[in-house]
Each structure stands twice: as C-alpha cells, then as structure tokens.
Structure 1
Amino acid sequence: MSKEVCLILVIVLMSQVSRACEDNKEEEELARQQSDEYFARAYGFTPETWNALFHKPSLGLQDAVDVSPYEGRTLFKSPQSSNNPFKKYFNRDQEDHENNGRFAFAGLGANLVNTGLFNNRYTPANTWRPLVTLAKRIPISVNPNFNSPLGSFDPCTSNVGEAGICTSGSVCSLFGGRPSGPCDQGQVCCINVINSCGSIVTLNNTYWQTPPTALRSPCTLTVRMDPKFIEQSSKPICQIRLDFVSFTTSQPTAGTCTDTFQVGGVSNEVPTICGDNRGQHMYLHVPPSATNPTDVQLLFNFAPGTTISRSWNIKIAMLPCGATYLAPIDCLQYFTATRGRVSSFNWQDVAGARQLNNQNYNMCFRTELISSQKATQMCLSVCSTTGGDAFSITTPPAVLLVGTDDTGFAAANDADASEAAQNSAVGATYTDHSRANGITVATCLYDYFLIPGGRDANNVQADRYCGNQLNPSPGSVKFQTVCTDNLWQRVFIPGTDTSVQVCTPIRPFKLTYQTDSQETAVDADTATNTIRALADVSNTGFCLEFQEN
C-alpha cells in the first residue's frame, strides 16, 4: 500500500474518531461527573455519606379510625431528573453495603470535618474536638444551583414504628443513632435517642427519654435550629412537634403542678403541664431566622420529697417553613383525621381530680374531605369511660336561700350543692332572679370549654360549656326545698344532668380550653368587678370524640 493511501486512511480514521468523540461528548462529560473525584471537588463531600437527594421517601402513616396521624410524617417529594449525574451512586445492593465504609472515610477532609460532626455539638459534655481548627479551614463548597443532598434527611419509620431519618449507616453511627430497618438506596432508618439532661438536639425525629441515672432538677434539653447546620440546610424550621410517647410525673395539688414541664423560646403560648400525658402532642411555633441560631428549651422541674417514679419519652420533630402540614399559627394542637379523640392534658379514665390550672390554648382540626366534599360540620360527644369523668370543668352555680318557712327566705352565701355538681352549665354568668335585685353568679367564666357555634340536635346553641355535662341547653331552674330543724332551705340549680352531641358548622374547626389559677371559691368584689363563683369540686377536664361530616 502506498504512503499516500496510508495517509488518507489515517486521516479518515482520525475524522471518524473525532466525530465519535464529538457525538459522545455529553456521555463522556456525564461519566466524568459520575466519578468520585469530580463529586468531591465540585461539592466538597463524598456522595455515599449523604446520598438522600434522590431517595424515594417511604409513605407516611395512613389515617386510622381512632388515630390522629401526625402529618409531619408526610415526606418531601425528592426532585427527579432524567439526567442524573450521580445515578451510579444509587440503586446499589450488596456493593453499596460493602463500599459504605470506604465512601464514608474517603472524603473525611471534605465531608465529615467540614460538616462539623467531629466538633461534637450534639453531645456538649464531650469537649475533645481535635479537628475543630481544621474544619474551620476547609469550608464546604456547594454549587448554589444544585439541590444539595445534604439538606434532605428524609423522615422514615422503622420496622417497629419508630420515627427516624434516612442516612447511610456510617453517618447514623457518627450522630450516635442506631439503625432500625432499611430506607431506599441502601440507606438505613436511623433512630436518634437522647437520654440525658443538658443535651442539645439538632436532628429531626429525635427521642428524648428519661435518663438512666438519678434525675436532677431541673432537667433540660435544647432544640437548636440553625440554617448553617447540614441537617437543617434545606429549609428553615418554623415549627416543632412534640409527641408524648410516654409522660408520667406527679399529680397536681388543687390543680397546680408541683412537678412541671415547660417550654421556652417559642412564639406561641404553651401551658405548664404535669401528671399523665401519654398520647398527647404540642406544636411549638419557632421564630425563624436565616442567619442566627434559634434555641427552644424543654424543661422539667421536680418537687422535692416526692417518691413517684417520673419517666418520659418525647419525640421531637422539626417541621420546615412552607410545609403543607404545619399547624395553624394560633394552635397548640392540630388534628388531621376525620374522627378521633381530643382530651385535656392529664385527663385519664380514672377517678379523682385531674384538671390543671392555667390552661389556655386552642385545638385545631383540618377540614377533611368526606365523600369528595369538604366537611361541613364537626360533632363532639363525651368519651365512654369505665372509671373516670369525661367532662368535668368547674362547678355549676347553686344559689342557697334560707328562712323560717317556705315563703319568707333570707339571702345567704352561695353554697355547694351536691346535685349542682352533676349538671351542665353554659354561658359566662347566671342570674338568680329569686332575690330582690337578682344575684349574678359565675358559670363558665373562669374555667370553660369553647365550641364556636355549638348546637344540639334541636338547634339549641351555646358557645361556652362547663359543669359536669356537655349540653348547650340551659335547662330549667330546679327548686329543691328541704327543712332541717325548722329551717327551710331552697337551692336553685340550673342546667341539665345529661350530655348530648354538640356540633359546629364554623370552619376552620377550632376549640378553646381555659382554666384559671385556682380551684377555690371566688368572692364577689364590686371594686374589681369580680363575680362570685363556687369552689370547684374534683374537676377532671375533658375527653371528647370528634367526627367531621
């Protein structure tokens, strides 16, 4: 073959190679972007440790008949892309588990050090931080146009129903968590538990449990939110939901807590609680900040000399701003099912006084779809009980008159009539017109349950409810006359002695519960416009079944 022919063949071959290279330029670039080196240099961390970007979230808990599901378990939709430059890091099976440790430590300088994990802000008691200086020297560099996988930390539910976050096994260990079941893409459902006083929490779905050693008082926990934290970098946190998986402290004395659980650093009003609160929840509204950290304090104080065994297990969920499942801004509790149960803090189906003083909060209910239509009303009925009282809020008024016969009565002070304690009461005050100028007595003025637009099956309507029955009907005043030692006594008792279903058409559905600071009688005082009220007798609070229709 002549030299000219060889030269022509070489030129043709080079042209074909060049064309092939041009045609495959995108594929080669994609392959380059898929390399470990490219990922680490471009984003400052290795993908395997934080590979939640394209993690397909598992489904949250579904609505149950008697359960108010926590909508915070509704997971974020991860962005999907037909041109995923990191696809080789996903859909791994055995290889993923085998290489987990390699990826976790290969990018130590660019990943773990930079994120501050070894700065140990999760366990402040440990002050040994050998890499803190190095971490400050090597900042994380994240492409601002890339939805960083560091900001995902998708919620998950373990095989035994615990809430956690999806991470790789190595990251779970670094955070001090324990793996409990799988997530997609070779990740684990990491369960995070704190069982000490004075700790700091930065991870979503963390459980605060009773310390294994002797309790100290106060026992505190700080929930720290900071958009600079990797685990919170996706969106600012606007709310925290506390779920009391278990909660037992001493019972109140005359309605006042001696053991106390309090919350600080939030923008909504959170009442002090104590006693038994298993199954209850709270939404804490957090003032968001894009630049400065925000601390929310959870605080237990224990009364000295009490031998009761205190214990708790509180799940702490951090809810991002803009999420569709956030509670309305003025609501401490939020229910998202067509039906369920709502009760006051410390209510239990047992005998005895359990109502707490200084309660003032709203319970809100999401308007659900009923047969593809929005619910038009919500109905409330007292819970079925075996030993407790399902509705007991303050003592209805009973006006006692005394005299020497059954026609001429002299006015006496208000008295506690045992029959009155079994009746319902509505409205703020009641006027006894049997007196010369009438006597005003407080009914649902100091302690009450508010159902805006509440009405019974006969369209009898009332907003404020108290007493020992749930019933909007004021009833008819009952005259009970007795004669003892030639002294006639007549008791005027309003209200009824049965509970009925009460419905409200006012949306959004919201209930309010309020109690004052005492269970003792209130004396009338014209100087301060204070209206007299009877002493409260063994009030328990409330337990109601709700249903939207």
Structure 2
Amino acid sequence: MYSFSSFISLLILLCTINELDATANDVVEDKKDEKLLSIFNVVTFPNTFCTGSASKNGTCYTADECETRGGTASGSCASGYGVCCVITLSCGGTSSDNCTYIEQSSFTSTSSLNSNPCTYTICKNSNMICRIRLDFTTFTIANPFTTPVGADAAGTTITNAGATGDCVTDSFSFTSPGSRGSPVICGANSGQHTTSRSWIIKATQYTCGDYDSLGGPPGCLQYFTGTTGKISSFNYPTSETTTTTSSSHLSNQCYSICFRQEATKCSICFASAIAGQNTFGLSVSPNAAAKSAVDSECTSDYLQIPNGVAKGAAAAAVATTQKFCGRILNLERNLAAETSVCSFSLPFRVDFKTDADEVCTANTDATTCEASLPPGGSIGFFLAFEQIPCA
C-alpha cells in the first residue's frame, strides 16, 4: 500500500547580500557626444512593488534583470520601461527579493516531491529588514490525526487521544536562526479539507521599526488590522456554516495573535464567528455537559485574553479572568451560554496554547474526554473580533 509523507520546512535566513541594483534600474536608450543631438537617454526607475497581470504582486525590474533573478514578467511597469517581475520559488529555492511566492501546485498521494523535506530559503534583502510576513493564499496538506472516540466493533473503548492534533503525515514549519520560528502546522488552512496538497504562500519583508504596517510588532505570529475581522486556530474549517465535530486543533501550539489599535478604539471584543453556533472548544468541561471553564481550570489547552471583561463594561471595570477553555466562551465557569469577552489591555493581543496530548479516558464524558459532546474540546476556536470606540 502506498503511503505518503511530506515534511515541508520554510527556512527564513537573515542573510547578508550585495545590494547592487537594490534601489533603481538604469535603462539606456541611447547617447552620443553631448555636443551633438542626443539620441541616447538614460531612464532610471525604482524597484517598487507592482501588480502583475495575474493579480500577483511583483517588483519592477528590467526584462533582463527579471530573467536573471529567475522571475516571470507579468505585465509592464515604469511607463513600459520595466516589467512586473513575479518571483516564485519551487522546492529547494532561495530568494532575497521582497514579495516572493512559495508555491506548489496540487498533487495527490500518488505524487512525490523532488526532495523530502522540501525546504525554501528567504533571505532579507537589506540589513534594515527585521520581519518577514507569510500570507497563506492557499494552504492544504494532510490533516492531523483525529481520535475516534467510543467503542470499536468488539466493544473495546478507544482512547488513543494522545495523538490527536499531531501532524503525523504532513507538516509545515518555518525557522529563523537566532529568532523565534513557528509551531508545526498541518491540515487545511485555506478553503475546505481536500485530499490533494497545494500551497501558495506570499513572503513580504518589512523594515525595522515599521510596526504599524502589515508586518506587525515583534513577538506576534499573526497580525490583524481593521476594526472587525475573524481569527481561528490552525486547521479550523472556517468555511463550514455549522460548528465542526470532526476536525481538531493542532498539538504543541504556543503563539500570540496581535491586533493594530485603530483610531478612536479603546477595547476589543471576541465572540463566536458563526451566529447561533458555538465555535469554541478547548480542553475538557467542568461539567458532564458542555460548559465554560476559566483560569485555574485552563492548564492544557486555552486561549488567553488579557483582563477579560463583559461587553459594555467601563474601562475601570475590575477584570479577573485571563484564561478561557472548556466548551463555551464565557467570563465565568460552568455556564452553558456563550458571551462576548472584551479587553482594554494594550496592545491588543491574545495568546493561544495547546499541549502535546488530548485527554480521553475510558469514562468518555465531557469532564474526562476532550472529544466528547459537541462542541468538542479539541476543535479549537473561530472567533469574530470587534474594536469598540472609546467612551
């Protein structure tokens, strides 16, 4: 029987490179003795961002430079003197160009990569670069292990929850020498779950101190702008219209999600992303039914919202709740109804942590088995956020 395994590792290197032609290109049209009629002119244009004909961003280069860099000309720029050069890396590729695409077209379990693991290297294009942002335009690889809970045909209880959430077939990570990398992720992180693997990842570089841009501040794995939006744990099927019962969050996650504070906004609130559906489930329940859990009950898997308060609370309200887990998002423990959780703490951020194992004993009620009852305690989270105006 054919088995497929792929470890995909994106290695982000802070390389020292030559900055030749880093700011502008010279296009020689023609030139003769200045005492004669000039028929040669030098046209100079900067290597700025451009939008290619296929809706991908690129950098404006001369046609020759684009070919030398291994890029693809996608439309023109600089009044026709340059081409919008889109750089796309295949497995094993290296680039120092800003706005580089890491791409693998769809392949199935009967396909294979040229190398395994498949490694990409992104080098900073100048010493002023401090952060590299990865946007997952498309990202679908094999799902993590999901525990079957209950009894098999012989009546034996299945409790192999320790592997739930582990990326045992495919996995993706990126590392940055001397800095913090990413957790290992897998599954469908754009669109729906499928059996074919594919990814398109855009790598954009940001200069040091540019914390208000889409690059975000240091220490934030994800960074969101705007007054409203949605966040989710990796592998949450965000395209589904009802609460999932079959997917699982990933093991060994520990990262921060940050939000730019927009003008005139003083707090941020979180609630389930699907109206009428509870899209939150982390760890066991404090009750045999699906209930909320907070703070000291949250020791394995949880979402931390600093100084959580109720929506509509004043900025001076005393906040005592920091960690949220269980099957319902609520400021208090052992409740079945969900509520919005808000925070005035600046900068706006939440922290997500999961351990290496899911809990499920032979007694498979919600107090001892994370996969028992909907919403399961291993589904992760899918939340809408809203920044609230200052009072």
The alignment's TM-score, normalised by the length of structure 1, stands at 0.51
Give the match for residue 191 of structure 1.
86
Give the match for residue 448 of structure 1.
302
Give the match for residue 251 of structure 1.
143
1:48–1:312 distance in 2 versus 1, CA, 3 Å: closer
Matched, 1:263 2:238: no
Q: Over the residues paired in the alignment, what is the CA RMSD in angstroms?
A: 3.0
Give the match for residue 25 of structure 2.
50
1:327–1:248 distance in 2 versus 1, CA, 3 Å: same
Q: Deviation digits for residues 324-368 of structure 1, max 9, x if unmatched?
A: 424221111111212111111111134413211101100111111
2:210 maps to a residue whose letter is: A
Give the match for residue 260 of structure 2.
366
Tell me how far apart the structure 1 counterparts of residues 294 and 104 of structure 2 sit (CA, whole Å).
42
1:464–1:46 distance in 2 versus 1, CA, 3 Å: closer
Number of corresponding residues: 308
Matched, 1:462 2:356: no
Tell me how far apart the structure 2 counterparts of residues 161 and 329 of structure 1 sit (CA, whole Å).
29
Give secondary structure in 2 for the equivalent of 1:512: strand
Structure 1: 5+ residue runs without aligned partners?
1-44, 53-87, 92-148, 226-231, 280-306, 399-416, 429-442, 475-494, 524-532
Give secondary structure in 2 for the equivalent of 1:507: coil
Confirm or deny: 8 A CA contact 1:51 1:167 kept in the other structure.
no
Tell me how far apart the structure 2 counterparts of residues 262 and 522 of structure 1 sit (CA, whole Å).
31
Matched, 1:347 2:236: yes
Give the match for residue 151 of structure 2.
none
Give the match for residue 536 of structure 1.
370
Structure with more relative contact order (C-alpha pairs < 8 Å, separation 6 or more) = 2
Tell me how far apart the structure 1 counterparts of residues 279 and 21 of structure 2 sit (CA, whole Å).
57
Report the structure number with the largest CA radius of gyration.
1
Deviation at residue 269 of structure 1 after TM alignment: 4.3
Tell me how far apart the structure 2 counterparts of residues 46 and 160 of structure 1 sit (CA, whole Å).
25
Give the match for residue 275 of structure 1.
187
Confirm or deny: 8 A CA contact 2:272 2:278 kept in the other structure.
no
Tell me how far apart the structure 2 counterparts of residues 518 and 390 of structure 1 sit (CA, whole Å).
21
Q: Deviation digits for residues 108-139 of structure 1, max 9, x if unmatched?
A: xxxxxxxxxxxxxxxxxxxxxxxxxxxxxxxx
Give the match for residue 478 of structure 1.
none
Give secondary structure in 2 for the equivalent of 1:172: helix
Give the match for residue 510 of structure 1.
349
Deviation at residue 544 of structure 1 after TM alignment: 0.9
1:393–1:46 distance in 2 versus 1, CA, 3 Å: closer
Stretches of 4+ moved more than 3 A in 1? 45-49, 88-91, 457-461
Q: Deviation digits for residues 155-204 of structure 1, max 9, x if unmatched?
A: 22234431211112222222222222333343222111122x22212211
Give the match for residue 221 of structure 2.
332
Match of 1:394 among 278, 283, 289: 283
More strand by share: 2
Confirm or deny: 8 A CA contact 2:188 2:235 kept in the other structure.
yes
Matched, 1:377 2:267: yes
Confirm or deny: 8 A CA contact 1:90 1:185 kept in the other structure.
no
Tell me how far apart the structure 2 counterparts of residues 48 and 205 of structure 1 sit (CA, whole Å).
15
Matched, 1:178 2:72: yes
Match of 2:120 among 221, 239, 242: 221
Give secondary structure in 1 for the equivalent of 2:266: coil
More helix by share: 1
Deviation at residue 90 of structure 1 after TM alignment: 4.3
1:48–1:548 distance in 2 versus 1, CA, 3 Å: closer
Tell me how far apart the structure 1 counterparts of residues 249 and 128 of structure 2 sit (CA, whole Å).
37
Give secondary structure in 2 for the equivalent of 1:377: strand
1:518 maps to a residue whose letter is: D
1:47–1:255 distance in 2 versus 1, CA, 3 Å: closer
Tell me how far apart the structure 2 counterparts of residues 246 and 472 of structure 1 sit (CA, whole Å).
35
1:255 maps to a residue whose letter is: G
2:369 maps to a residue whose letter is: A
Deviation at residue 268 of structure 1 after TM alignment: 1.7
Confirm or deny: 8 A CA contact 2:305 2:323 kept in the other structure.
yes
Match of 1:208 among 95, 98, 102: 102
